C-alpha cells in the first residue's frame, strides 16, 4: 500500500527536516507478541516523532506469513497518516533491503528443559543468517536493535556476520531493565517518575545484570540520600530487577510484552532524537574497552545519545569495589556466552554473550 501524508503547517526547522524524512524499518518476529504491541507505536509516531514517515517491513517465518498478512490489514485499517508503505514476507534479504532501521524481535523461544547451549545454537544460526542478509542488502548506515534473547549474544553474532556495517550501529535492548529500575525507585520513594535520573544497567540482559544507582539522582539529589536504605539498594532492589522477567513469567504465564514494546520505543526514540541534556540511558552496545570491559563484547553501558542515532558511552564514572565485583560477574557470563556461541568457529578477536532472562 502507498499513502500520502497529510500536509503539516507551522513547523520548527527540526520538524521541517523530519517532514521530508522517511525511514524504512523492518521488524523481525513481527507476528509474535511483542511485534503486535510494538507495531502501533512505530506507526503512530511514538518512536520517531509525529513527522517522520515510515515504510514498514514485517519479517517472520514462512508459517507466520498469513498472520503477517492479517497484521498488514490491521495496519491499513489503523489509517496511520505516517505509514507510507507496508510489505511482509519470510525472506530476510527481501525484507532488509534498503532498511534504515531493523528491530530484531524474532527468535526461537526457550522451551522447558532446553539447555542454554541449545537455545544459543538455534538463535545463533538465525542471527548468523540474518547478519549475512543485512550485510548484503541493508543500507550501510542501517541501525539495529536486538530484542530476542539472549539479546547481547544475538547482537554480537549479528554484528560479526555483517562486517561492512559499522559496529556502533548494533545495539541490544536493556532499556526494559532500566525502566524497571526507575519504576522500583519510584515505588520506594513515591517521588515523581520523571525526577529519577541516571540509573545504569551494566552488562548482560540476564540475571547477572547490575542495576547501579550510585550515579543517579532523584529530584537532583543522590539516589542513595533520598532512599536512605543502603541494605535495600544493595540487596532486594538489585535482585528485583535481575529477576523481574522471571517474576512476570510466573504471574502472567508468558514473558513481558507491552512493557518490552514500550522499552523498544524508548530505546529507539532516544537513540534517534537524543537523550535529555544531563541524562543518560542504558543501552547494550559494542564495548570499546570502557570501564575495563573487553573490547567487542555487547555490553549494557550508560549512554548519552545525540541526534540521529549517534551515541557515546558515558566516561569517567567512579566504580567502587562493590560495583566492580558485580560488573565482573556479568562480564564473565558474557565472555562465556561468546565462547559458547563461537565455539565451532574461529573465535572472533573482539566479541561476547548472555544468559536468557525472559
What is the strand order of the sheet 170-172 is part of?
A: 83-89, 53-59, 22-28, 101-104, 143-146, 170-172, 281-286, 298-306, 310-313
Q: How far, in Å, are 145, 272, 285, 313 from residue 310 at the CA level?
A: 14, 8, 12, 11
Q: How far, in Å, are 28, 63, 70, 98, 101 from residue 31 at the CA level?
A: 8, 10, 9, 22, 18
Q: Which of residues 90-129 bind ligand NAI (CB under 6 A)?
A: 105-109, 126
Task: Identify the residue among 23, 25, 26, 31 touching ligand NAI (CB under 6 A).
Answer: 31
Strand intervals (E) in 148-209: 170-172, 196-197, 200-202
Alpha carbons 289 and 6: distance in angstroms, whole number: 47
Task: Identify the residue among 99, 260, 283, 341 touching ligand NAI (CB under 6 A).
Answer: 260
Output the smallest distance, CB 356 to ligand NAI, in A.
6
Alpha carbons 112 and 120: distance in angstroms, whole number: 15
Q: Contact at 8 Å (CB) between 56 and 87?
A: yes
Does residue 308 carry a catalytic annotation? Answer: no
Q: Is the Cβ of residue 218 or residue 286 nearer to ligand NAI in the bound state?
A: 286
Which residue in 205, 215, 267, 273 is the catalytic one?
A: 205
User: Stretches 40-48, 146-154, 195-203, 309-317: which one binds ligand NAI (CB under 6 A)?
Assistant: 146-154
Output the smallest distance, CB 147 to ligand NAI, in A.
5
Q: Is the Cβ of residue 18 or residue 330 nearer to ligand NAI in the bound state?
A: 330
Q: Is the Cβ of residue 185 or residue 201 nearer to ligand NAI in the bound state?
A: 201
What Rg do the C-alpha atoms of the chain give, in angstroms?
Answer: 20
Compute the C-alpha angle 357/327/208, nearest 5°: 20
Which x/- pattern over 230-259 shows residues binding ligand NAI (rule: CB under 6 A)?
Answer: -------------------------xxx--
Site for ligand NAI contains 182 (CB under 6 A): no
Alpha carbons 220 and 278: distance in angstroms, whole number: 11
Which x/- pattern over 44-83 shows residues binding ligand NAI (rule: CB under 6 A)?
Answer: ---------------xxx--x-------------------
305: left (phi over 0), alpha (psi -120 to 50) or beta: beta
For residue 311, give the 3-state DSSP assignment. strand
Site for ligand NAI contains 148 (CB under 6 A): yes
Site for ligand NAI contains 268 (CB under 6 A): no
Residues in the interface with ligand NAI (CB under 6 A) total: 29
Q: Which residues bind ligand NAI (CB under 6 A)?
A: 28-29, 31-35, 59-61, 64, 105-109, 126, 147-149, 151, 173, 176, 205, 255-257, 260, 358
Which positions are annotated as active-site residues?
Answer: 205
Amino acid at each position: 500500500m502507498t499513502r500520502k501524508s497529510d500536509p503539516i503547517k507551522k513547523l520548527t526547522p527540526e520538524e521541517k527536516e523530519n517532514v521530508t524524512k522517511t525511514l524504512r524499518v523492518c521488524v523481525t518476529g513481527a507476528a509474535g507478541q511483542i511485534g503486535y504491541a510494538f507495531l502501533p507505536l512505530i506507526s503512530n509516531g511514538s518512536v520517531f516523532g509525529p513527522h517522520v514517515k515510515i515504510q514498514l517491513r514485517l519479517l517472520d517465518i514462512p508459517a507466520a506469513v498469513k498472520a503477517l498478512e492479517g497484521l498488514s490489514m490491521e495496519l491499513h485499517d489503523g489509517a496511520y497518516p505516517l505509514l507510507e508503505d507496508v510489505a511482509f514476507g519470510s525472506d530476510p534479504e527481501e525484507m532488509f533491503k534498503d532498511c534504515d532501521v531493523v528491530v530484531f524481535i524474532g527468535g526461537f523461544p526457550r522451551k522447558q528443559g532446553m539447555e542454554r547451549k541449545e537455545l544459543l545454537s538455534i538463535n545463533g544460526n538465525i542471527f548468523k543468517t540474518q547478519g549475512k542478509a543485512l550485510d548484503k542488502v541493508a543500507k550501510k548506515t542501517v541501525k539495529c536493535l536486538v530484542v530476542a534473547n539472549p539479546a547481547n549474544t544475538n547482537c554480537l553474532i549479528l554484528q560479526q556476520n555483517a562486517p561492512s556495517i559499522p559496529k556502533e550501529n548494533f545495539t541490544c535492548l536493556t532499556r526494559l531493565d532500566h525502566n524497571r529500575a526507575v519504576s522500583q525507585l519510584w515505588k520506594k520513594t513515591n517521588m515523581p517518575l520523571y525526577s529519577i535520573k541516571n540509573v545504569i544497567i551494566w552488562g548482560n540482559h540476564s540475571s547477572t545484570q547490575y542495576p547501579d544507582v550510585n550515579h543517579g539522582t532523584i529530584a537532583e539529589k543522590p539516589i542513595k540520600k533520598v532512599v536512605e536504605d543502603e541494605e535495600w539498594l544493595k540487596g532486594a532492589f538489585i535482585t528485583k530487577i535481575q529477576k523481574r522477567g522471571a517474576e512476570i513469567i510466573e504471574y502472567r504465564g508468558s514473558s513481558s510484552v507491552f512493557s518490552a514494546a514500550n522499552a523498544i520505543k524508548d530505546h529507539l526514540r532516544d537513540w534517534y532524537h537524543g537523550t535529555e541534556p544531563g541524562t543518560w540511558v542504558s543501552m547494550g552496545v559494542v564495548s570499546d574497552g570502557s570501564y575495563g570491559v573487553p573490547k567487542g563484547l555487547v555490553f549494557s553501558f550508560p549512554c548519552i545519545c545525540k541526534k540521529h542515532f549517534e551515541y557515546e558511552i558515558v566516561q569517567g564514572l567512579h566504580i567502587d569495589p562493590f560495583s566492580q565485583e558485580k560488573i565482573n560477574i556479568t562480564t564473565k557470563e558474557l565472555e562465556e556466552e561468546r565462547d559458547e556461541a563461537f565455539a565451532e568457529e574461529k573465535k572472533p578477536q573482539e566479541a561476547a554473550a548472555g544468559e536468557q532472562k525472559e
